[in-house]
Amino acid sequence: MPRFMRASDAFTWAMESDARLRSTVVALIVLDGTPDWDDVRRRFDRISRTLPMFRQRVVETPPPAPPRWEFAADFDLDFHLRPVSAPAPGDLDAVLEMARVLAMEDFDRIRPMWRVLLVDGLADGGAAVLCAFHHALTDGVGAIQIGRILYEVSGRRPDRGPMPAEPEVPEPAPLSGYRDAVRYCVDVAGKAVTGALRSAPALIGRGIRQPLQTVSAAAATAASVYRTVRPVPAPGSELMTERSLLRRVGVHEVPLAPLRAAADRVGGTVNDAFIAGVAGGLRRYHEEHQVPVGELHMCMPISLRGPADEMGGNRITLMRFDVPVGIADPAVRIDRIRRRTTTVRTERSLPYTELIAAGLNLLPRWYIGAALRNVDFVASNVPGIPVRVYLGGAPVRFQCSFSPTIGAAVNVTMLTYAGSCALGINADSAAIPDFDVFHECLVAGFEEVLALAPERAEQPRPG
């Protein structure tokens, strides 16, 4: 039987019936010098042969089965991997404009959902790589794992052994989609019945021995599930209310050690300090426009990826909760955020993410849109590679990720690399029409947090 989409990936796929909820991720890699582009091409070829999804397209299956992955018969690596010259003046802003356009484009759905631009001719003698992929291919942590195939840890390129063979692409049999859908439903139903039979004795026994605790636990789980899926009736912000298909992207670099020191000083984590910096920027942006702000609706991806999970696929869940943006004191803000994120990370609904996604896939598309469009901002923290790496013999100077807004006003994604935190900012131009003002406010929000560090290191700048 072919491989079907996980329920969470199918949810990501289905919600794109509203183009404002597209799940395109754009990764930017800036290099010191020009790499061996032939070697870079071979590495992407190896990735496509190692991870089937990079040579597969998504095919709709008769409901209630989810879409399935199917090898693309006309796969052409050079369609997905294209060399281009940097537009004038060949600086970081020129590359960011290319990233902005990629973030707004949709994929050709009859082909695998990724493309890479190999950007040559930067004014400083460097180069860049822009990777656009659908979130169903992999999540942030999975992308870092894929980086093990892409990068080397020294300027010398190690021998990775023979290239894996190209996968065989069988011809689809007539009516195979209907037969596969029936087999999928039978398989899911069989697993559900088997699981119920295995768990029923323990549940019954627990209910007899501890009836009140059992009912209480069931009610708490149901409440947690409701908090996960409930629609957000209106944005928390009175300022960032509009939504569109237009985007602006930007970057900001923050030193990791002072950010961690600031978090440690008030008993928080790096993630708490990161969210507090974003919240501080949002507060300042509202103050700039003389609009009051208290709490805003935030969406935070939480990784569910385990050691046994493969690199491909989406292993995250989206948790929505309110963040105290209006607090001016960064120490108090970090502490309040720490309490909120601790509660969210222990939600009873987390083990049931796939079941929840399967249920959402049966609901009308407008309900999914209502659950996401009124979120104010997304903040995602991706632990990256801790040491300097190379690509095609060229040192990687800087890398960041522009993750999708999925209906929010802005997504700020923090990707750590070799002691630095790169913030990839992807903003909806209707919600934030004055992007430069917002960028300045975000920088000031992180300055507030970094000022808590006992010893402040000098902050590097991207590019």
Active site residues: 135
Q: Report yes or no: 360 and 368 within 8 Å, Cβ to Cβ.
A: yes
Q: Report yes or no: 211 and 399 within 8 Å, Cβ to Cβ.
A: no
Question: What DSSP string describes 95-121?
Answer: HHHHHHHHHHPPP-TTS-SEEEEEEE-
- Closest alpha carbon to 339 in 353, 316, 352, 321: 321
Q: List the 247-255 sheet strands across, edge first.
A: 247-255, 420-428, 410-417, 377-382, 295-303, 316-324
Going 225 to 143 to 426 to 365, the CA torsion angle's sign is negative
Distances from the Cα of 145 to the Cα of 290, 295, 423, 461, 463, angstroms: 44, 35, 20, 26, 24
DSSP 17: G
- Strands 420-428, 247-255: pairing is antiparallel
Sequence-distant (6+) residues with CB within 8 A of 94 are 86, 87, 88
Going 322 to 327 to 332 to 334, the CA torsion angle's sign is positive
φ, ψ dihedrals at 12, nearest 5°: -60, -40
Distance CA 26, CA 32 (A): 20
